[in-house]
Every structure is written in structure tokens, then in C-alpha cells.
């Protein structure tokens, strides 16, 4: 019952004022060093929308984890861009989504990043079906400690 109640309460909450900071901006400010890593490194595909950034101190390297949303109609162009920009290996269908191994890159100051492009669960079995899928995501981890 609690999740339904929480959803109902959120639905009735007043709208934020037009100049209120976005959820992503608030979260990025709450975690020092968190933010739009792809924009900061000059590797952001124009179709990618920064969603949020969180700290994950329990994982090796204590990464800061940034998420991006990619409209499915733009997924192939973003994949092409990331293949060139960071050496991403093209996505393959695995089980019920499209994904692949993480690409690693280093920025000009020597910070290490790991990047994944993936789809949510989708029935799309062929790349030509991507435009009808839900939005894809890019996950970028910036490591705050040596791995």
C-alpha cells in the first residue's frame, strides 16, 4: 500500500516554480564532484540528456555515477558517436536488452571513467527496431579512488 500512497501524494503535490532547480541539478550539487561528466570531458553526444549523478562509495573505486537518457530514435547515432569518442564496442542483443562491455577512457587531468550504453528490456531483436523501443541510457562512472 505504501508505494501507491506515495505515488498518489506525489501526484497531488504542487508543481515546482518554473525557476526551481531540476532534480538532476540538486543531486549533482549534493554530491561534490558529481555532474555531467560527458559534457565536462567534451564527449557528450548532442542527443544525450543528463539525468542525474549519485555517489556509490560501496563499489570499488568509489565511483560517482552519472546517468543520461537517449531517445530510442537517436540510439544508433549515439552509439556511432561513442564508438568514435570513447572506443565503445557496438551493442549486441543479450537476453532481453541491448548492451555491451564498458568502454574506459581518461580525461585530460588523468581521471578514469567507465561508460555503458544500454537499452531497457525490449522486444527489439534488430537494430532497425530501436526507434520503437523505450529510451536507452548511458551510464558513466568516474572513479574517485585508484582501482
Question: pTM for the complete prediction?
Answer: 0.78
* Cβ within 8 Å of residue 19, ≥6 positions away: none
* Confidence check: pLDDT of 5 > 60: no
Whether 147 and 60 have beta carbons less than 8 Å apart is answered as yes
Beta strands in 27-119 (DSSP E): 49-55, 63-70, 92-94, 97-99, 103-106, 112-118
pLDDT in tens, 99-145: 999 999 999 999 999 999 999 999 999 999 999 999 999 999 999 98
Cell of 75: 540510439
pLDDT of residue 32: 87
Q: Which residue has the higher pLDDT, 105 or 9?
A: 105
> What integer is the mean pLDDT of 85-109?
95
Amino acid at each position: 500500500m505504501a508505494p501507491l500512497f506515495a505515488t498518489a501524494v506525489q501526484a497531488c503535490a504542487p508543481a515546482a516554480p518554473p525557476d526551481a532547480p531540476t532534480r538532476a541539478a540538486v543531486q549533482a550539487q549534493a554530491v561534490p564532484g558529481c555532474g555531467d561528466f560527458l559534457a565536462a570531458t567534451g564527449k557528450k553526444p548532442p542527443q544525450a540528456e543528463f539525468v542525474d549523478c549519485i555517489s556509490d562509495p560501496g563499489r570499488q573505486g568509489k565511483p560517482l555515477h552519472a546517468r543520461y537518457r537517449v531517445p530510442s530514435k537517436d540510439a544508433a547515432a549515439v552509439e556511432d558517436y561513442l564508438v568514435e569518442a570513447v572506443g565503445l564496442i557496438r551493442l549486441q542483443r543479450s537476453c532481453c536488452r541491448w548492451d555491451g562491455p564498458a568502454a574506459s577512457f581518461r580525461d585530460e587531468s588523468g581521471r578514469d571513467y567507465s561508460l555503458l550504453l544500454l537499452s531497457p528490456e525490449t522486444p527489439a531483436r534488430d537494430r532497425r527496431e530501436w526507434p520503437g523501443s523505450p529510451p536507452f541510457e548511458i551510464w558513466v562512472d568516474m572513479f574517485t579512488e585508484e582501482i
